[in-house]
Amino acid sequence: MAACDPWKYTNVTGEVFRTLRSLAQKEGFHIPNAPSGEFSIRKGGMSLNFHYSWNQNNGGLTITCLKKPSLIGCPMVKGIADQILRQSGGRPA
């Protein structure tokens, strides 16, 4: 069961996806170079786990937070995801 409802993004071209992966690496986590998969973010003793699915044909990306600390709300996590996607060139749907 997901910790948060899925979030959808548009305009996630190949270039945007590469930029997203590069930004993630700079932040200390790894997004696989695959159209779908899972990644984790660990900072300050907290761990967040995500599943993503990227449609290369239409530029759609769906991210689902699978696990997060109970003290952190879904809107806060989504706000961080939105910011990173915007920096990469994607847009919240």
List, edge to edge, every strand of the sheet that includes 7-10: 36-43, 46-55, 60-67, 7-10, 91-92
The predicted structure's pLDDT at residue 48: 93
Q: At what angle do helices 74-88 and 14-27 cross, to 10 degrees?
A: 120
The domain 7-92 is placed in CATH, from the list 2.40.30.10, 3.20.20.150, 3.30.310.80, 3.90.180.10, at 3.30.310.80
Domain ranges of the chain: 7-92
Q: pLDDT tens-digit profile of 29-85? A: 999 999 999 999 987 888 999 999 999 999 999 999 999 999 899 999 999 899 999
Mean pLDDT, residues 17-27 = 94
Q: Greater confidence, 17 or 1? A: 17
The predicted structure's pLDDT at residue 36: 98
- The H-assigned helical ranges of the chain are 14-27, 74-88
The predicted structure's pLDDT at residue 1: 64
